[in-house]
């Protein structure tokens, strides 16, 4: 048994918990839910003893073994994948100690009953050791690693050569191999792709120990837990039943409390009226006094307020060229592993594209190439006019300086905005008052994500590149992000395994597989439908895998067959229309290209001249030369203004043409 009794915990004067109790018995499967920063990870750390409580007691049955997967691991251990996975945890260490000690004790034992007891314990320990794979533990380890998405051959590679997500996977594998009495997992699905999530779900369903699991993933919670522990507003409340029944019961409890609060309010008002009316009547003095006392004693029922929600929007970016970002013939390899050979990829203004595909297909690599965070081995990356890219990574420690405060991190991104503005923006991301003085290192997982998002808004790019933006975010924050991205006019390209998020944001799907990208010019439903159709025509299809395949399978085959023929004719018509449109608008496109080239040239010249004019050395040159520089600067600026106006006008004409075509 593992339990908390009257636990209190504060950080820097802020009370996180005051009086929290929780009891876990063998076989419990508890899901912990609650908003970002509520204290879920802290609660887990207190349970394991990693974090001390300010008061209260933590009790743990002697010999009970625990395995804890923290929410984030900052650095990879210096070992191979298999070495990490086989590192013994509490459970195996305890077992090995027993297997060593019991035989020694047996030799020493003289009492018959004692010998029998020891022999039985030894047999149990052997049975348990066998259950963990015994001397074939490595075989079991390899199976678990494969389930969590490692590919054959990965096992011997050093963990440091993998991304942060894989470091978490290896640590998770280690715990699953150790099979402790209690597994405490802090958002384990954050670093998994859909297939591995399903694998983990099955694994946990078969696990007979005690499970304590923090997650924001509704489907995963439903499949793996049988009670829900809610952490919110300093309170920890347990609900029997799965996630759905928790949502229901919570609504009912809330309704009951609200009704009770209303009744109480009515009663209080009646009493107050009574007191008011008879206060001056001597005959009623006793009754009035007793009622005043009763009122003072009555404990008021408070209805917990719904917590504040994150609300924000991305500032509308400056107008960019239609072709915002382009990769041509890009090649990228990591050592011997070739990810892309000659990749062409284009991102257009206003496009909302999701990259999907199996694990390790190179989605994050493509995002990094687009962001310029990774330099291609060959080929070219070209930014459109006025395009700036912003790159949000799933490993926010790349974006945050963990040693600095929230405010300092944000101020480092601010351009001309002052501190007041920055504080207001941070407020919208729920960093209030002293919260901005916290060091980034102590922030909760979701708070780090919120800070990184806020920082992107301080230097708003015209092209957003986001790698798993929803991990660590609570459900309300994900919804706020969806709303903000839907209003954003710039281009967006992202990787996500959150189907709810993809469905509400993506308007185009790009499948990345084996170094090849396939475009699906429609939303998620369209992609699933196409993948379903493609499965019927294997010649034209790539092998269905992962999320797309799973959802595509829901489409009834007959519908797909029926529409396949009509769809071909439709495709031909669409292709003809596209060609006609391309011909009509060719002149406009050519003019846009010429203008963009001219503008770029002028901007370069302007920057050069501005540099000269800012240099004190320049003014030691003869007067007429300086005057000439100034004259040329004015001329360039004027030409730039004219070209830009013309460029905007032509762009608009082109857009009208394109829009007319869609009606
Ligand atoms: N050392 C510390 N100093 C100050 N504040 C801290 C410290 N450690 C944690 N906190 C704060 O305690 C609160 C609870 O953090 P915790 O990590 O437990 O939240 P959580 O519920 O797990 O959130 P998330 O869903 O974002 O992971 C957060 O507001 C966090 O900033
Ligand atoms: Mg947490």
CATH of the domain at 495: 3.40.50.300
Which residue, chain included where needed, has tokens 């992000």? 481
* Domain CATH for 594: 1.10.287.380
Q: How far apart are CA 602 and CA 618, in angstroms?
A: 21
* Nearest in space to 130 (alpha carbons), one of 173, 83, 92, 170: 92
H helix intervals, 111-217: 112-131, 137-147, 164-178, 194-206
- Structural tokens at position 75: 């650095």
Q: Is 444 in the pocket of ligand 1 (CB under 6 A)?
A: yes
SS3 491: strand
In the chain, what is the straight-line distance between the N-terminal and C-terminal CA atoms, in Å? 66
So what's the pLDDT on residue 578?
A: 74
So what's the pLDDT on residue 280?
A: 81
Assess whether 74 and 171 both reside in one domain: yes
Assess whether 63 and 196 both reside in one domain: yes
Assess whether 383 and 504 both reside in one domain: yes
Q: Is 190 in the pocket of ligand 1 (CB under 6 A)?
A: no
Assess whether 168 and 203 both reside in one domain: yes
Q: How far apart are CA 649 and CA 588, in angstroms?
A: 10
Q: Once rounded to an integer, what is the mean pLDDT over residues 447-454?
A: 91
Which range has the worst mean pLDDT, 316-320, 341-345, 470-474? 316-320
So what's the pLDDT on residue 354?
A: 95
Q: Once rounded to an integer, what is the mean pLDDT over residues 465-485?
A: 88
Which range has the worst mean pLDDT, 48-62, 75-89, 119-133, 591-605? 591-605
Q: Does residue 453 belong to any structural domain of this protein?
A: no
So what's the pLDDT on residue 559?
A: 41
pLDDT digit string, tens, across residues 300-335: 887 766 667 777 777 777 788 889 999 999 999 988
So what's the pLDDT on residue 131?
A: 85
What is the Cα 357 distance to its own chain's centre?
Answer: 18
Q: Is 477 in the pocket of ligand 1 (CB under 6 A)?
A: no
So what's the pLDDT on residue 417?
A: 81
Q: Is 141 in the pocket of ligand 1 (CB under 6 A)?
A: no
* Residue to mutate, 17, 18, 39, 215, ligand 1, most ligand atoms under 8 Å from C-beta: 39
Q: Does residue 444 belong to any structural domain of this protein?
A: no
pLDDT digit string, tens, across residues 618-660: 888 888 888 888 889 999 988 888 888 888 788 778 877 777 6
Least distant ligand from the CA of 472 = 1
Distances (CA, A) of 196 to 148, 174, 367: 5, 15, 22
DSSP-assigned letters across all residues of 326-357: EEEEEEEEETTEEEEEEEEEEEETT-EEEEE-
Q: Once rounded to an integer, what is the mean pLDDT over residues 495-517?
A: 89
Least distant ligand from the CA of 310 = 1
Assess whether 210 and 331 both reside in one domain: no
So what's the pLDDT on residue 432?
A: 86
Residue 22 Cα to ligand 1 midpoint, Å, equals 19
Give the whole-number percent of the chain exceeding pLDDT 70: 92
Assess whether 155 and 226 both reside in one domain: yes
Domain count for the chain, please give it.
4
Please give the residue that has the higher pLDDT: either 473 or 195: 473
Q: Whose CA is closest to atom 29 on ligand 1? A: 37
* Nearest in space to 198 (alpha carbons), one of 464, 603, 546, 587: 546
* Mean pLDDT of all residues belonging to the chain: 85
Residue ending a domain, choose from 259, 280, 297: 297
Q: Does residue 543 belong to any structural domain of this protein?
A: no
Q: Is 443 in the pocket of ligand 1 (CB under 6 A)?
A: yes
Least distant ligand from the CA of 15 = 1
Half-sphere exposure (Cβ direction) of 327: Cα atoms closer than 13 Å: 24
Q: How far apart are CA 459 and CA 436, in angstroms?
A: 19
Q: Is 438 in the pocket of ligand 1 (CB under 6 A)?
A: yes
Q: Whose CA is closest to atom 8 on ligand 1? A: 442
Q: Once rounded to an integer, what is the mean pLDDT over residues 431-437?
A: 90
Q: Is 16 in the pocket of ligand 1 (CB under 6 A)?
A: yes
* Nearest in space to 193 (alpha carbons), one of 492, 35, 394, 397: 394
Assess whether 344 and 293 both reside in one domain: no
Query: Do residues 505 and 354 touch, judged by C-beta distance below 8 A?
Result: yes
Residue 67 has pLDDT above 50, yes or no: yes
So what's the pLDDT on residue 146?
A: 92
* Residue to mutate, 38, 70, 310, ligand 1, most ligand atoms under 8 Å from C-beta: 38
Containing structural domain, residue 651: 585-662
pLDDT digit string, tens, across residues 6-44: 999 999 888 999 999 999 999 999 999 999 999 999 999
Q: Is 446 in the pocket of ligand 1 (CB under 6 A)?
A: yes
So what's the pLDDT on residue 557?
A: 36
Q: Is 40 in the pocket of ligand 1 (CB under 6 A)?
A: yes
Least distant ligand from the CA of 402 = 1
Residue 189 Cα to ligand 1 midpoint, Å, equals 19
Q: Does residue 312 belong to any structural domain of this protein?
A: no
3-state percent helix, strand, coil for the chain, nearest multiple of 5? 55, 20, 25
Q: Does residue 360 belong to any structural domain of this protein?
A: yes
Q: Whose CA is closest to atom 27 on ligand 1? A: 445
So what's the pLDDT on residue 533?
A: 62
Assess whether 97 and 37 both reside in one domain: yes
Residue 550 has pLDDT above 50, yes or no: no
Q: Which residues pair with 228 in a beta bridge?
A: 31, 239
Q: Whose CA is closest to atom 9 on ligand 1? A: 442
Q: What's the pTM?
A: 0.72
So what's the pLDDT on residue 577?
A: 75
Q: Does residue 446 belong to any structural domain of this protein?
A: no
Assess whether 168 and 212 both reside in one domain: yes
Give the whole-number percent of the chain exceeding pLDDT 90: 38
Q: Does residue 83 belong to any structural domain of this protein?
A: yes
So what's the pLDDT on residue 328?
A: 95
Query: Do residues 48 and 184 touch, judged by C-beta distance below 8 A?
Result: yes
pLDDT digit string, tens, across residues 357-376: 877 788 889 999 999 999 99
Q: What are phi and psi of 285, to 5 degrees?
A: -50, -45
The two beta strands, 352-356 and 508-513, are parallel
Which of ligand 1's atoms lies nearest the C-alpha of 12? 4
Residue 384 has pLDDT above 50, yes or no: yes
So what's the pLDDT on residue 558?
A: 40
Residue 553 has pLDDT above 60, yes or no: no
Least distant ligand from the CA of 444 = 1
| 530: confidence class by pLDDT, cuts 50, 70, 90 | confident
- Burial zone of 633 (CB within 10 Å; 0-12 exposed, 13-18 middle, 19+ buried): middle
Q: Is 215 in the pocket of ligand 1 (CB under 6 A)?
A: no
134 sits in the region (left: phi over 0; alpha: psi -120 to 50; else beta) called left
| 568: confidence class by pLDDT, cuts 50, 70, 90 | low
Residue ending a domain, choose from 478, 499, 519: 519
So what's the pLDDT on residue 46?
A: 96
Residue 562 has pLDDT above 60, yes or no: no
Assess whether 153 and 273 both reside in one domain: no
pLDDT digit string, tens, across residues 89-126: 889 899 999 999 999 998 998 889 999 999 999 999 99
Query: Do residues 122 and 106 touch, judged by C-beta distance below 8 A?
Result: yes
CA 90, 92, 95, 101 dihedral sign is: negative
Which of ligand 1's atoms lies nearest the C-alpha of 40? 21
Assess whether 608 and 494 both reside in one domain: no
Q: What are phi and psi of 571, to 5 degrees?
A: -65, -40
So what's the pLDDT on residue 540?
A: 33
Q: Is 9 in the pocket of ligand 1 (CB under 6 A)?
A: no
Please give the residue that has the higher pLDDT: either 645 or 206: 206
Which of ligand 1's atoms lies nearest the C-alpha of 474? 25
Q: Does residue 311 belong to any structural domain of this protein?
A: no
| 534: confidence class by pLDDT, cuts 50, 70, 90 | low
- The neighbour count for residue 460, using CB atoms within 10 Å, is 17
Q: Once rounded to an integer, what is the mean pLDDT over residues 218-235?
A: 90
- Structural tokens at position 474: 């609570």
Assess whether 505 and 637 both reside in one domain: no
């Amino acid at each position: 048994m593992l339990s908390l009794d009257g636990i209190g915990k504060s950080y820097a004067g802020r009370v996180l918990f005051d009086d929290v109790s929780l009891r876990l018995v063998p076989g419990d499967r508890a899901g912990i839910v609650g908003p970002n920063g509520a204290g879920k990870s802290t609660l887990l750390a207190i349970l394991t003893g990693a974090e001390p409580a300010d008061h209260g007691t933590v009790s743990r049955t002697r010999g009970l073994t625990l395995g804890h997967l923290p929410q984030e691991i900052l650095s990879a251990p210096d070992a191979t994948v298999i070495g990490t996975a086989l590192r013994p945890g509490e459970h195996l260490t305890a077992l090995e100690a027993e297997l060593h000690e019991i035989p020694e004790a047996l030799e020493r034992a003289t009492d018959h009953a004692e010998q029998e007891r020891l022999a039985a314990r030894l047999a149990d320990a052997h049975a348990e050791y066998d259950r963990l794979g015994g001397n074939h533990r490595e075989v079991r380890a390899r199976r678990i690693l494969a389930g969590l998405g490692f590919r054959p051959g990965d096992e011997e590679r050093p963990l440091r050569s993998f991304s942060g997500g894989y470091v978490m996977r290896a640590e998770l594998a280690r715990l699953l191999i150790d099979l402790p009495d209690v597994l405490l997992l802090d958002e384990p699905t954050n670093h998994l792709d859909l297939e591995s999530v399903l694998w983990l779900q099955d694994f946990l369903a078969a696990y007979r120990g005690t499970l304590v699991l923090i997650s924001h993933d509704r489907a995963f919670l439903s499949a793996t837990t049988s009670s829900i522990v809610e952490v919110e507003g300093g309170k920890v409340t347990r609900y029997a039943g799965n996630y759905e029944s928790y949502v229901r019961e919570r609504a009912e409890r809330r309704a009951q409390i609200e009704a009770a609060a209303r009744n109480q309010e009515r009663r209080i008002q009646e009493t107050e009226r009574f007191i008011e009316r008879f206060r001056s009547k001597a005959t009623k003095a006793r009754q009035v006094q007793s009622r005043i006392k009763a009122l003072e004693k009555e404990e008021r029922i408070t209805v917990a307020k719904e917590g504040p929600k994150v609300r924000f929007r991305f500032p509308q970016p400056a107008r960019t060229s239609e072709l915002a970002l382009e990769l041509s013939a890009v090649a990228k390899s990591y050592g011997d592993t070739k990810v892309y050979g000659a990749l062409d990829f284009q991102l257009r203004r206003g496009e909302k594209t999701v990259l999907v595909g199996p694990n390790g297909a190179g989605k994050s690599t493509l995002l990094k190439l687009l962001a310029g965070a990774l330099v291609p081995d060959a080929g070219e990356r070209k930014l459109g006019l006025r395009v700036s890219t912003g790159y949000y990574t799933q490993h926010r420690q790349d974006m945050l300086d963990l040693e600095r405060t929230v405010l300092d991190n944000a101020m480092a991104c601010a351009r001309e905005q002052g501190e007041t503005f920055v504080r207001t923006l941070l407020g919208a991301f729920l960093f209030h008052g002293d919260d901005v003085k916290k060091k980034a290192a102590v922030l909760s997982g979701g708070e780090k994500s919120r800070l990184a998002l806020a920082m992107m808004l301080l230097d708003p790019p015209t092209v957003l590149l986001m790698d798993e933006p929803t991990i660590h975010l609570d459900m309300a924050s994900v919804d706020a992000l969806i709303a903000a991205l839907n209003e954003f006019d710039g281009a967006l390209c992202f990787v996500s395994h959150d189907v709810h998020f993809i469905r509400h944001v993506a308007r185009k799907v790009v499948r990345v597989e084996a170094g090849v990208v396939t475009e699906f010019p429609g939303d998620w439903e369209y992609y699933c439908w196409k993948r379903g159709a493609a499965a019927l025509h294997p010649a034209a299809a790539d092998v269905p895998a992962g999320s797309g395949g799973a959802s595509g399978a829901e489409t009834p085959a007959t519908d797909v067959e029926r529409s396949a023929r009509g769809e071909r004719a439709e495709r031909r018509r669409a292709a003809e229309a596209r060609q006609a449109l391309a011909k009509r608008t060719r002149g406009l496109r050519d003019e846009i290209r010429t203008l963009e080239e001219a503008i770029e040239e002028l901007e370069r010249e302007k920057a050069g001249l501005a540099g000269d004019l800012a240099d004190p050395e320049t003014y030691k040159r003869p007067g007429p030369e300086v005057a000439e520089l100034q004259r040329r600067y004015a001329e360039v600026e004027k030409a730039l203004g004219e070209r830009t106006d013309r460029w905007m006008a032509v762009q608009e004409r082109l857009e009208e043409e394109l829009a007319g075509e869609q009606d």
